[in-house]
Amino acid sequence: MQLPIPGQSEALLRAIRVSQAVNRVRQMPTVFVANPLLAVFIALSYWERADHLSLVVFVAVMVVLWTPAALSWRRLRKLPRPVDVSPRNEMRALIFSAIAGTLWAIAAWVLYPVGGTEEKAMLVMMMSGLCAGSVAFFSSSPVASMLFFLPLMCALMVQVVRYDTAAQPVLPTAVGVFTLCAMLFTRTSWFQFVESVRILVERDEALKAARANRSELETTLAQMQDLAMVDQLTGLKNRRAFFDDAEPSISASRRRGQPVTVAVIDLDHFKSINDTYGHAVGDVVLREAARRIDESSREEHVVGRFGGEEFVMLLPFTTAQQALNAIERVRKEMSREPIVVPDGPTLTLTMSAGIAPLEQEMPITVAIDHADKAMYRAKNLGRDRVEVFGV
């Protein structure tokens, strides 16, 4: 039982089964700790309102149900990644999820009517948390996820409609919207998972074919390395290559006690260029913008494209004021001459940028986030300007 698999093949199906099994093993610790703990929390919250024996039995059943999961995780966590997994493995996961979901549905059905306002609100939040958690934990097994959360959310919806529609009409709507969103996210996560596995399968198949000829293998590996480090549209470093090259520069600056600054650059009104003239013109604009940024920067600067129209620059041995002067030069160069698109429009391009110092012991991702906030401030102040974080 499975959601649709676009372009399925035997190799893809086998890789999906293996990835699903591996992901479940990785997710087991959180799942088998969270479910019994939530059961204990709910039992304590309803202790004064529900039958004590029923609550104890509910918690005990949850502990017993999830104990095999804990034992399986302990047995499987150190084993090597399998090369194939039986389809029955997924069926066992579906049955287990359905049983767990049914138990939670029974709990929701029985406990909701006897609770007060606070207990009911707590139960809705706990069930919604279980629903969201199943989407995240079982993103590679969407049917298992739905068999877990749909019974409990449906039971909760019926009880909310029966008992609280008049007093709190927003509750049924909230539960329904949350359930619908969970189903949509489940489907989206599934297709993203399949696409990720497909990429791995295609990579493995390409490597197997390349091994038939040593020179072809060397060429393929070189191309894969280039693809992994270079943004193919602009020729700048991609996100991975940027971080790889940034670390040595940061370390060298810090060893000498020199400042380091980060800048985030975003092209102004780029979306309107794509919408008006098409993505082909947008690609020309991106390549020319990248060329101007690269040529306006110094050799020691690390420049990368993070996606879309956003570029990031690391400026070692540079204070925030010096970085401001450097990025101002880039900004002026960006709009100095119009971009002439062959057989297309002539466009004047501007940019907004944010600058942030990279303090001692601060992760570079934090400095990039600060620079990004400064860049958005530049956008809000009218664009075509450079702002410094914290100033």
Catalogue the E-assigned strands of the chain.
Answer: 260-267, 302-307, 310-316, 339-340, 346-347, 351-357, 386-388
Residues 6+ apart with CB under 8 A from 310: 264, 265, 266
Contact assessment for residue 389 and residue 371, using Cβ atoms and an 8 Å cutoff:
yes
247 is catalytic: no
Is residue 361 packed enough to be buried (19+ CB in 10 Å), middle (13-18) or exposed (0-12)?
exposed
| Residue 253 amino acid letter | S
- Which residue is catalytic, options 90, 119, 288, 309? 309
Write the DSSP assignment of 129-176 as a string of letters: HHHHHHHHHTTT-HHHHHHHHHHHHHHHHHHHHHHHTTT-THHHHHHH
Is the C-alpha dihedral spanning 126, 130, 131, 135 positive or negative?
A: positive
DSSP 213: S
Please identify every residue annotated as catalytic: 309
